[in-house]
Amino acid sequence: MLPLTTAVIGVGYLGKYHADKYAQLPQSQLVAIADVDSKARETFSEKYAIPTFSDYRSLLGKVKAVSIATPTPLHFPIASFFLDHGVHVLIEKPITSTLTEAEELIQLAKKRNCILQVGHLERFNPALLAVQPHLHHPRFIESVRVAPFQLRGLDVNVILDLMIHDIDIIQSIVNSPIRHIHANGTPILSNDTDIANARIEFHDGCVANVTASRVSFKSERKMRIFQEHSYLSLDFQNASFILCKKGKSISPSGMPEILREEFQFENKDALLAEINSFLNAILHQTPSLVSGEEGKRALETAIQISKLVKSPTFAFA
């Protein structure tokens, strides 16, 4: 089977890693780069000996699949252009700026029989993949995702930048619609929300307490999941998790036995796994792990939280 011809639109902080992974994978032939930055184009032209373009539309007819790693407001026009011409699309999160745009991309992908995958990278973290068999109707979830302040990513607030990762994960493991959301947050160093907390209540009774900050001194990406007779503590940054569960024995004092297992994973290249999954979905005509619908679902919740933070009079229930 011939490799898929691929390209990356936007080779800034994230896009350059997409290009590296496409160049590594045997089912991909990286054939071009598109970016408005002439220095970036020159760098990648020399590194991979491939043509580069300032206009993404110049890629038409040259590629079967693309990654879009541009600022969020550009996601929709670029993705819709490629989908409309039958090119498969991996788009960085958030999927788009608005729900209307997200729905249009979903429908366009269906119409053109294209894969539309959203780059919720944490879904490919080996710790999260390995924890799935241990999940049984979570009752309470607590997540913390914090990072030092950076100038990149300021085209969106911290909810759409960082918290959306955990929103997506939580909604993927809690098989229930949202009943109510409480949220608060504030700008610190930028003009938009830099730190936020949300309490998400689901119809099945599960509650998630989600915190995100981009004004921390250190990076941390952790999630704790509580369910009947067991507790899981995930460390996404270190690709590990701890499983604690109730044993069968009880001590003379009445204390139940607690069994503890620790799991550590060496294969931490989630981006390589994500792009590999995208390419395989195209080649084998199978659904992607993170579909456009799931990207839209996470965006919808993130927008609701953003509105709650912005306006105390807004309520979602």
Q: What is the pLDDT of residues 39-72, one digit of tens each?
A: 999 999 999 999 999 999 999 999 999 999 999 9
How far CA 207 is from CA of 10, 52, 179, 314, in Å, comes to 37, 48, 10, 20
| Neighbouring C-beta atoms of residue 16, cutoff 10 Å | 18
Least confident range from 82-96, 152-166, 177-191: namely: 152-166
Q: Which residue has the tokens 């001590």?
A: 251
pLDDT band at residue 250 under the 50/70/90 scheme:
confident
Regarding whether 53 and 138 lie in a shared domain, the answer is no
Name the strand (E) or helix (H) holding 38.
helix 38-48
pLDDT digits (tens, 9 = 90+) for 261-300: 999 998 779 999 999 999 999 999 999 999 999 999 999 9
For residues 105 and 139, membership in a common domain is answered with no
The neighbour count for residue 129, using CB atoms within 10 Å, is: 16
What the block records as the tokens of 73 is 């407001």
105 plus 242 within the same structural domain? no
Co-location of 24 and 74 in the same domain: yes
Residues 171, 139 share a domain:
yes
Report how far apart, in Å, the C-alpha atoms of 281 and of each of 62, 123, 157, 269 are.
Answer: 20, 16, 31, 19
pLDDT over 90 percentage in the chain: 89
Centroid of chain to Cα 57: 26
Number of domains in the chain: 2
CA–CA dist 107, 103 (Å, integer): 6
Whether the CB-CB separation of 279 and 3 falls below 8 Å is answered with: no
Instruction: Examine the domain organization and report whether 10 and 132 are in the same domain.
Output: no
What strands, in cross-sheet order, belong to the sheet with 195-202?
178-186, 195-202, 207-213, 140-146, 220-227, 230-235, 240-250, 256-264
**Does residue 147 sit in the same domain as residue 67?**
no
Q: What is the pLDDT of residue 180?
A: 97
138-149 pLDDT, tens digit each: 999 999 999 999
State both tokens at 285.
């005509």
Residue type, position 24, single letter: Q
Question: Considering the domain boundaries, does residue 19 fall inside one?
Answer: yes
- Sign for the CA dihedral angle at 144, 149, 152, 155 comes to positive
Average pLDDT over residues 223-246: 96
**Domain check: are 199 and 82 in the same one?**
no
- pLDDT category, 249, cuts 50, 70, 90? confident
Question: Residue 193 falls within a domain, yes or no?
Answer: yes
Has residue 315 been placed in a domain?
no
Domain extent, residue 147, equals 123-266+300-310
Domain shared by 256 and 283, yes or no: no
0.85 exceeded by the pTM? Answer: yes
Closest CA to 66 of 25, 100, 116, 103: 116
- pLDDT above 90 (res 189): yes
